[in-house]
């Protein structure tokens, strides 16, 4: 059996890299003394994975941890034990048991939703121009090189609401293993040099269902 857990990453933990997050979860699972499956070899580690790596500096309300079990464990016990040992800024919200054959969340992931606050900028017209465009190319650093990337097909929804001198943006973008649009690429294109506060709010499976609750038809 495997345990899928939905968790929040906020507060100072938004500055954890993906590797930092992996190490923190490994330590928490050991401290909680849960019946988790461990790899074989000289340096055994818990068999875990995540639905999607989160960019450093971005908070989230919907991350998903996938852990292989080596014994019986109730979802409620998992939530309670983990929240007792995790640092402030990481909190398990819910958990569910799935069979070993159940697809990994990363394999079914299709879209990610974000909310972003752009400080001191009115981005309503920039958003309208973006949505009206057929192509929208940005520069994307990759392996020491910079390449041109058309991000227009990767943005399924973009809405902007003005709040005082700031803009609140709601985004829905492509998020798969093969094609993943980081929100900062879009935000920087809309407001070069701007200051943003970004939160991931949704991870969706193919067809638009919430990824954590996805079940086979």
Overall residue count recorded for the chain in this entry: 217
Distance between CA atoms of 90 and 12, rounded to whole angstroms?
Answer: 9
- Better-predicted residue by pLDDT, 111 or 42: 111
Question: Average pLDDT, whole number, for the chain?
Answer: 94
Distance between CA atoms of 111 and 51, rounded to whole angstroms?
Answer: 11
Q: How far is CA 6 from CA 22, 75, 123, 169, 174, in A?
A: 15, 11, 32, 24, 20
In this prediction, residue 40 carries a pLDDT of 80
Averaged pLDDT, 174-200: 93
In this prediction, residue 217 carries a pLDDT of 60
Closest listed residue to residue 202, CA positions, set 191, 190, 194, 214: 214
pTM of the model: 0.92
In this prediction, residue 162 carries a pLDDT of 96
Averaged pLDDT, 103-125: 96
Q: What are phi and psi of 158, to 5 degrees?
A: -150, 120
Domains and CATH numbers, the chain: 2-102 (3.30.70.580), 108-205 (3.30.70)
Residue 131 has pLDDT above 70, yes or no: yes
102 pLDDT band (50/70/90 cuts)?
A: very high
Averaged pLDDT, 85-108: 96
């Amino acid at each position: 059996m495997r345990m899928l857990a939905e968790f929040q990453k906020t507060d100072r933990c938004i500055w954890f890299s993906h590797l930092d997050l992996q190490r923190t979860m490994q330590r928490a699972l050991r401290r909680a003394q849960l019946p988790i499956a461990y790899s074989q070899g000289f340096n055994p580690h818990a068999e875990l994975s995540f639905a999607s790596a989160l960019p450093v500096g971005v908070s989230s309300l919907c991350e998903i941890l996938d852990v292989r079990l080596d014994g019986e464990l109730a979802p409620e016990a998992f939530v309670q034990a983990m929240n007792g040992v995790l640092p402030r800024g990481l909190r398990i919200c819910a958990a569910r048991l799935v069979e070993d054959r159940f697809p990994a969340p990363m394999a079914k992931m299709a879209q990610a939703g974000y909310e972003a606050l752009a400080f001191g900028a009115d981005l309503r017209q920039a958003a309208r121009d973006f949505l009206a465009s057929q192509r929208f190319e940005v520069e994307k650093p990759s392996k020491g090189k910079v390449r041109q990337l058309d991000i227009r097909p990767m943005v399924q929804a973009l809405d902007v609401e003005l709040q005082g001198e700031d803009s609140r943006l709601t985004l829905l973008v492509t998020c798969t293993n093969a094609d993943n649009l980081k929100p900062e690429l879009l935000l920087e294109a809309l407001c070069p040099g701007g200051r943003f506060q970004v939160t991931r709010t949704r991870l969706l499976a193919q067809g638009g269902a919430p990824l954590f609750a996805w079940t086979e038809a």
